[in-house]
Amino acid sequence: MHLELIGLGKTFVDETQGMEIPAISSIDLQVEQAQLVSIVGPSGCGKSTLLRIISGLEKSFEGKVLLDGQEILAPTHDVGLVFQQYALFPWRTMCENIEFGLEIMGMGKEERRAIAEKYVNLFGMQGFEDRYPCQLSGGMQQRVAIARTLIMNPKLVLMDEPFGSLDSQTRNDMQEFLMDLRQQRNDTILFVTHNVDEAVFLSDRIVVLSKRPARILRIFELNTPHPRDRTSTVANDIRREVIGILRQERISPSPANNQVHTL
């Protein structure tokens, strides 16, 4: 798997106000097989917009998104997307939510249920197969959402603040869970987060974006093996550098092209 972003740019047009709002500017990035690449940046800088472009949900943008050399212009089963809000169907049980994509593809009931149960076991959710989302904890609901994405075996997994709504302890548990899962599956993940500690703990690389319109300020390579010590000297040094860049970006004057343009 090889993902390549070439000169990505996005400008939103507010026709009611007669304004252009630049969101992303000239982003070039490559992601290789089995990497977890985190994207951090100031709030509102365009991180989620970037994921929407890569997923094929944004129709109008500059540049190209290439997955194994093929341009992505529309949603595809090769790219899975996990949101911060679990977006589970409340009328479907855990297993029914997990197997939803297979059902849409036309797979028979017995076959898709057998595959879903494998994911229930892999994710440590035995005994909850027939529970509805309202009967599950936040961490369990997010596991179901991740399982629903991974059951489709996408080449690339996009995660948009997937643990952002969880309490601190559950968030740490889900980070550990994701690391264990990667060791078993070798998924390629592009992971948006506001949490620098999370990025340092999870990532092979950290991409730091500027304020809007987002551009890449720096890419950090993290070569320390997993499992990682969250409080190690290396982790603290990288955390300090990333936070320092984000702090400087927050207080620095906005460039001219960061402004809203009147049409």
Walking along the chain (263 residues) 10 residues at a time, the average pLDDT comes out as: 96 84 95 97 92 94 97 95 88 97 95 96 95 95 95 97 92 94 93 96 97 96 90 94 94 61 45
Residue 18 within a domain? yes
Residue 83 within a domain? no
Q: Are 113 and 102 in contact (CB under 8 A)?
A: no
Give the domain extent around 43.
2-78+154-262
* Co-location of 206 and 92 in the same domain: no
Please give the model's pTM, rounded to 2 decimal places.
0.93
Residue 106 within a domain? yes
* Co-location of 115 and 161 in the same domain: no
* Co-location of 67 and 190 in the same domain: yes
- Give the residue carrying structure tokens 């129709």: 59
Residue 179 within a domain? yes
Residue 24 within a domain? yes
* Co-location of 191 and 140 in the same domain: no
Burial status of residue 81 (CB atoms within 10 A of its CB: 0-12, 13-18, 19 or more): buried
* Co-location of 236 and 121 in the same domain: no
Residue 258: C-alpha distances to residues 9, 44, 87, 131, 214 (Å) = 13, 12, 33, 47, 9
Which long-range contacts does 254-259 make (Cβ < 8 Å, 24+ apart)?
Answer: 254/211, 257/22, 257/25, 257/213, 258/22, 258/211, 258/212, 258/213
What does the pLDDT read at residue 262? 45
What does the pLDDT read at residue 28? 98
Reading phi first (left if > 0) and then psi (alpha if -120 to 50, else beta), residue 222 is in beta
SS3 content of the chain, % helix, strand, coil (to 5): 35, 25, 40
* Co-location of 161 and 232 in the same domain: yes
Q: Count structural domains, the chain.
A: 2
* Co-location of 108 and 183 in the same domain: no
Domain CATH code at residue 232:
3.40.50.300
* Co-location of 53 and 164 in the same domain: yes
Q: Is the peptide bond before 42 cis (omega within 30 degrees of 0)?
A: no
Q: Which of the listed residues 108, 138, 153 is the one where a domain comes to its end?
A: 153
What does the pLDDT read at residue 254? 63
Phi, psi angle pair for 234, to nearest 5°? -60, -45
* Co-location of 166 and 231 in the same domain: yes
Q: Which of the listed residues 131, 153, 175 is the one where a domain comes to its end?
A: 153
Residue 33 within a domain? yes
Phi, psi angle pair for 136, to nearest 5°? -115, 150
* Co-location of 42 and 166 in the same domain: yes
What does the pLDDT read at residue 259? 52
* Co-location of 93 and 128 in the same domain: yes
Residue 94 within a domain? yes
Residue 98: C-alpha distances to residues 50, 52, 88, 218, 238 (Å) = 26, 22, 9, 37, 36
Amino acid at position 10, single letter: K
What does the pLDDT read at residue 143? 95
Residue 15 within a domain? yes
* Co-location of 112 and 149 in the same domain: yes
